[in-house]
Amino acid sequence: MPDIKCIHSGAAPKAVGPYSQAVVHGGLMFASGQIGLDPASGQLVADDVITQAGQVMKNLEAVLAAAGSGLNDILKVSIYLTDMGDFAAVNKGYAEWLGDHRPARATVAVAALPLAARIEMDVVARVSV
């Protein structure tokens, strides 16, 4: 479809399945979920949720940049945690990441994530058309 643009950033982990890191359509970017993978090694950066969350945010920033977008363009964030006991720690890092920007958000507990990750996040953001 010519009006759907697939986004790829070499600064974020490559898609490990039949999907794009993000797609852009109608002025919106829909990012696929990111876990705390190091883009170079393809491995989780650590076992702890704080380090994983930091890498997730770096990965999402790279995808946003590849789409011509940025943190202040994020409209909606979804956070998936394997342990809701991690909520407060993740919330603190999340607030630091976005500064004063406050997009809509959902945080849900899940039974498991790929590669035994403890956190996954995806975003919807506006982009220039």
The mean pLDDT of 107-119, rounded to a whole number, is 97
Stronger pLDDT, 15 or 10, i.e. the higher one: 10
Domain count for the chain = 1
- Is residue 37 very low, low, confident or very high in pLDDT (cuts 50, 70, 90)? very high
Best CA proximity match to 60, nearest among 45, 43, 74: 74
- Residue 72 main-chain phi, psi, to 5 deg: -75, -5
The mean pLDDT of 57-77, rounded to a whole number, is 98
Give the per-residue pLDDT at 16.
Answer: 78
Query: Distance between CA atoms of 41 and 21, rounded to whole angstroms?
Result: 17
82 is in which domain, residue-wise?
Answer: 5-126
Predicted TM-score (pTM) of the model is 0.95
Output the average pLDDT for the chain: 96
Whether the predicted pLDDT of 1 surpasses 80: no
Q: Can you give the CATH number for the domain in which 91 is found?
A: 3.30.1330.40
CB atoms within 10 A of CB 94: 18
